[in-house]
Structure 1
């Protein structure tokens, strides 16, 4: 079976879309969603340390824009396994040629795409359907002391939400706007 992951470059350096190749027959389908060997060129010396699952109940809900500072910066792989989202990431890498550029993509159970988010990006999403579920693969452990976030409504981030926000945590709603002199984070 040819189940290798296709790795597709995006408009932002080091951000990739992973496209599984599904094997479909009368029983259903099978697809690989992670393979350390196939991803060694993009993961480099990193390995998956944690896998998380989220369920978001309401269409229009927003989570994010979360990130971790060094030494806990992390690569994330994100896959929607039920429903659909618009995922948005912002490059906050210090001295990056794409600093503060936003990348948005629809991820769904139907399209099966996986977003590869490199270190130094803030990440968030908005659900397009009720009861949407995601699987996250992380190369670092969650470290509350090194965690931070951006405000999804910050005009400097230029995030285009497709829907009105129906639910957002108080914490995510109250994140500060970026200062004009924000230089990014070291990764």
Structure 2
């Protein structure tokens, strides 16, 4: 099984300002990008799974807690799936890779946080790929 992983980035600061980067993020397979902005830390976006689509998350403002589960059966998933948890921060540039077959959920830890999302599928190309589950199915949210 391919597992989610972090692609580390960095930053360079000098008298001109700061450059944040994730140079090891290969975007050659990216077909779409968008971002979600959370005005409140009470909002939880969970659980959305993709059968074949891969995604990459980059926090561009604030902080997000991201939780992932590998779906064992898209029609009747187990209640006891392993939950992977990541904290993404805009001031610590890194990209989270989410393989196909995973459900994701995320919650802003700071108001007005923004999460940039990259996908290897263009919008509308595979409309049957998305499966949603109840936000409290595998974890509790703070």
**TM (normalized to structure 2)?**
0.81
Tell me which of the two structures has the higher relative contact order, counting C-alpha pairs closer than 8 angstroms and 6 or more residues apart: 2
The DSSP-based 3-state class of the residue aligned with 1:22 is: strand
Correspondence for 1:55 among 18, 34, 37: 37
Q: What 5-or-longer segments of structure 1 have no aligned partner?
A: 1-11, 164-187
> Cα RMSD between the aligned structures?
2.3
For residues 10-52 of structure 1, give each alpha carbon's deviation from its aligned partner in whole angstroms, at most 9, with x where no partner exists: xx843111111222211122233365xx64xxx8xx7111011
Distance 2:91 2:11 in 1: 12
**Equivalent residues, number:** 134
Asked whether the 8 Å contact 1:85–1:126 carries over to 2, the reply is yes
TM value normalised by structure 1: 0.63
Q: Does 2:2 align with 1:20?
A: no
Q: 1:144: how far off?
A: 3.1
Greater share of residues in strand: 2
Q: Give distance in 1, aligned partners of 2:62 and 2:83.
A: 23
Larger Rg, first or second structure (1 or 2): 1
Taking structure 1 as reference, are residues 121 and 31 closer, same or farther at Cα in structure 2, changes over 3 Å only?
same
1:31 aligns with 2:31: no
